[in-house]
Amino acid sequence: MSDAVPSSPASSPVRPGRRVALVTGGTAGIGHEFARRLADRGHDLVLVARDADRLDDVAQELATAYGVAVETLVADLTDRAQLAAVERRLADPDRPVDLLVNNAGFGLKRPFLANDVEDEQAMLDVLVTAVMRLSHAALGAMAGRGSGGVINVSSVAAFLPRGTYSAAKAWVNSFGEWAAEEYRPQGVTVTTLCPGFTRTEFHARMGVSRDSAPEFLWLDADFLVEQALADFDKGKVLSVPGASYKAIAGASRAIPRGVLQRFQRLGRR
């Protein structure tokens, strides 16, 4: 296994004294929108993704549009050695990261037993293990400095019985809610973002059609990230953008699990 490596030629080191945000999965969808919004706020960026060419393209795009420095790390977060390289970047005391956005993720369309167990393991590695290890590296550095923030991208699926994806996101919610209270006294804000169906590449990569869920349930990534950052700025523990999803999250606590499970195929056709 090989360490994550800086991409080139677009990658450039972040500048001393600038606010820095590290975004995993920062080249597409929600992650790209986070990177764009944070660059617009004046953050230098560290972008992490698997596709070196796409990383270069996005780094050049954001550097040109917003005048920020964009450092890139090519890393497959299922590879423990490459994940460790990202951990080291987060923990580096000489190059502090002010905000970590744990966004990278993917889903599996088929039911649990229809999937190869290695595919299930890879999903668990990205959705849970990477979030845990990167949060550990970031929180250690931030708590030591007395400042910083983490946004963990979870899902409304965390509130619903929807197989191993749902179970992994429930872990993210539980961890994030605990960490928010644990590290708030040390100057660190932890917000867990729970998106619903969002117009990105995510579902297309799963092989899921857009009409597998009602149109009114689909959100745009720019709205989602705008709401998430507003909630983060307010120090909110949970961010659930969209009135429909706030209602779903609330109702999930009262509706019997057996009833909720009947709708687990929604958004997977």
Catalytic sites, residue numbers = 165
Cα gap 120→81, rounded to integer Å: 20
- Residue 197: strand, helix, or coil: coil
Cα gap 260→222, rounded to integer Å: 29
The pair of structure tokens assigned to 7 is 């991409």
Query: Where is 176: in which H helix or E strand?
Result: helix 163-183
Instruction: Count other Cβ atoms within 10 Å, centred on residue 254.
Output: 6
Sequence-distant (≥ 6) Cβ neighbours of residue 75 within 8 angstroms: 4, 48, 49, 50, 82, 83, 85, 86
Q: How many CA atoms lie within 13 A of 22 on its CB side?
A: 30
Of the candidates 245, 102, 252, the one whose C-alpha atom is nearest the C-alpha of residue 162 is 252
Cα gap 66→221, rounded to integer Å: 19
Cα gap 95→147, rounded to integer Å: 14
Neighbour-count burial of 104, counting CB atoms closer than 10 A to its CB (0-12 exposed, 13-18 middle, 19+ buried): buried
Is 202:162 a contact under the CB 8 Å cutoff? no
